[in-house]
Amino acid sequence: MHVVIRRFRTTDGDAIRALFRDGIQEHINPSFTHAMLQPLYLGLTLFLSAGGFLMGGWVVAACTGGAWLGLVYYCCHELYAGFVRERLRTDMQDIQSSYLSDADNCFFVADTEVNGRSECMGMVAVTGKTEAGSGQRYGELFRMIVSSASRRTGLGTRLAQTAVDFCKERGFSKVVLETSSTQTSAVALYNKMGFTLTHTHTTTESPHWVTSLTRVIILRMEKTL
């Protein structure tokens, strides 16, 4: 499969938004599994199920345990689905004006031809920013998505390197990005490319209690150029 990385075109809009939605929401189930495998959550599940059994037998046990599982799954779903809703309402609604109306911003698309038709296999965006205090210009990497059909082909590395090269061309001092702790493949890729962890937090598009129950941590990483 020959994949070309190029700048976004307005005709890519619907395909890119669909790829973005699917790529982000596929993290729902892994994040739920990650949360439920935490010792605290395993203990709570057993405690609630046992308490329900003592109060009313197997039916109550199933209801209490199931309600807890449902709550955690809802939070994991809302964390990622809520992020998608917000982004589709803002920058991803009009990619052209959000990322291509300023020379310090760009949106790249990984494109291939399938049965004579152009197909988007990945994306990455960069916006130029100015650091408070030092006044240094840096690039922030966003919307890094690779389609499931193009995983393990090196496309993720190519997209990330394209973003880094763009930042070098613009004279930025560094590249920064944020990813979630459950996106282990992405974290491994960024580490391999020389990004280092600089900060962690739990601020997301969702309410704080939702993010807390998912046990997801946001990792901020950067690479000096």
What is the pTM assigned to this prediction?
A: 0.90
The H or E element containing residue 138 is: strand 137-146
Cα separation of 106 and 104, whole Å? 7
Residue 34 covered by a domain? no
Contacts of 219 (CB under 8 A, 6+ apart): 178, 179, 180, 181, 187, 197, 199, 200
The H or E element containing residue 198 is: strand 196-201
Q: Which band of pLDDT confidence, cut at 50, 70 and 90, is reported for residue 132?
A: confident
Q: With pLDDT > 90 as the criterion, what percentage of the chain qualifies?
A: 77
Query: How many domains, the chain?
Result: 1
Instruction: Provide the token pair at 22.
Output: 């699917």
Residue 11 covered by a domain? yes
Residue 151 covered by a domain? yes
For position 191, what pLDDT does the model report? Answer: 96
Q: With pLDDT > 70 as the criterion, what percentage of the chain qualifies?
A: 99
Residue 98 covered by a domain? yes
Q: Which domain holds residue 192?
A: 4-25+88-224
Cα separation of 10 and 147, whole Å? 19
pLDDT value at 1 more than 70: no
Residue 45 covered by a domain? no
Q: Name the more confident of 62 and 174.
A: 174
Distance of CA 88 to the CA centre of its chain: 14
Three-class HEC string of 99-133: HCCCCCCEEEEEEEEECCEEEEEEEEEEEEEECCC
Which amino acid appears at position 9 of this protein? R
Q: What is the pLDDT of residues 141-165, one digit of tens each?
A: 999 999 988 888 899 999 999 999 9
CATH number of residue 190's parent domain: 3.40.630.30
Instruction: Provide the token pair at 37.
Output: 């495998």
Residue 50 covered by a domain? no
Cα separation of 112 and 125, whole Å? 18
Residue 210 covered by a domain? yes
Residue 73 covered by a domain? no
Q: What is the pLDDT of residues 86-127, one digit of tens each?
A: 999 999 999 999 999 999 999 999 998 777 778 899 999 999
Q: What is the pLDDT of residues 10-32, one digit of tens each?
A: 999 999 999 999 999 999 999 99
